Amino acid sequence: MPATLRIATRKSPLALWQAEHVAARLRAAHPGLAVELVTMTTQGDRILDAPLARIGGKGLFVKELERALLDGRADIAVHSMKDVPVELPEGLHLPVILEREDPRDAFVSPRYADLASLPPGARVGTSSLRRQVQLRARRPDLVVESLRGNVGTRLARLDAGDFDAAILACAGLRRLGLAGRIRRPLTVEESLPAIGQGAIGIECRRDDAATLALVSVLDHGPTHTCLAAERALNAVLGGGCQVPIGGHAVLEGETLHLRALVGHPDGEPVLQDAIRGPAAQAEALGRALAERLLAAGAREILEAVHRAGLPGHPPDGAAG
């Protein structure tokens, strides 16, 4: 057993909650193990106004934690899986995925009970392209505006009256003890979640067998299988953060059901499809669904976005 297991984490309240949760579970699983947090501010936390894709995109929140792993300043990094890019740096892997919290998006509003109650022209805050296109498809009369920052920052702006409603992840609100702010969870049919939403992952060095032996007990097989399908889908689509992409898998016994969405950043078209098959073939199902979406028009969307070099957005409003 190492003298102390060091966890690299961002400093946002949600990131700290997740790291403390992993620390507590590791201490419970291995009595006598010392666990400590190594906190760091990532580039994604520092730069709150620039279009994130231009300065490094989706990986901004994880890169500095990964550098700490590679430099030996930390043994594991704890991530919200929806912020983790498909490609990991050489020498690192993600062997552990914890059991998923509520994966749905949440409708949050001080005044309105749900999406249907919003009057025409109501202002809804979200910086996630994925949330924006699904919102626009359902309610083209709403005004969707950018809302970034930590969960607390976003709620404060909502409460200050900058918006009539906001869409946030149920998981983040629940973990921070803010479940009371969820007016209504959006069904996955109303708002298909981001790939990995609600799941926490543990990244570590491939050559560190001692650490792997300690953290493996936290892996949740069914969530891991669902994430394998979602991330395989994402790897084939390779959309980065300038294209609205959603993906969500559930297990029904030994059968995996994966839904996916690819939208044009301008709002149209929005392509959706789903696939069902043996859980043992999770990754192949993810790749197959991605190929079907590409053939159905996603390829044209991805190519158009890359050609245009549109200013980017964080994967989901970012900054957790």
Nearest to ligand PBG of 150, 211 (CB atom): 150
Calculated CA dihedral for residues 73, 76, 77, 82, nearest 10 degrees: 160
Check 45, 49, 75, 83 and give the catalytic one: 83
59 binds ligand PBG (CB under 6 A): no
Q: How many residues bind ligand PBG (CB under 6 A)?
A: 15
Least distance to ligand PBG, CB of residue 80, Å: 3
Q: Is residue 260 within 8 Å of 293, Cβ to Cβ?
A: yes
83 is catalytic: yes
318 binds ligand PBG (CB under 6 A): yes
Question: Would the CA dihedral through 108, 114, 119, 120 be positive or negative?
Answer: positive
Distances (CA, A) of 233 to 136, 239, 245, 301: 24, 10, 10, 16
| CA-based radius of gyration for the chain | 19
Least distance to ligand PBG, CB of residue 135, Å: 14
Nearest to ligand PBG of 146, 255 (CB atom): 146
Nearest to ligand PBG of 6, 82 (CB atom): 82
228 binds ligand PBG (CB under 6 A): no
For the window 77-96, what string marks contact with ligand PBG as x by the rule CB under 6 A? ---x-xx-------------
Pairing type for strands 143-145 and 76-80 reads unpaired
- DSSP code, position 282: H
Q: Give phi and psi for 79, each to the nearest 5.
A: -130, 150
Distance separating alpha carbons of residues 290 and 89, to the nearest angstrom: 23
Residue 308 structure tokens: 């245009």
230 binds ligand PBG (CB under 6 A): no
**Footprint (CB under 6 A) of ligand PBG, residues 166-225:** 168-169, 171-172, 197-198
Residue 273 structure tokens: 């499809």
108 binds ligand PBG (CB under 6 A): no
Contacts with ligand PBG, residue ranges (CB under 6 A)? 80, 82-83, 151, 168-169, 171-172, 197-198, 316-320
Catalytic residues: 83
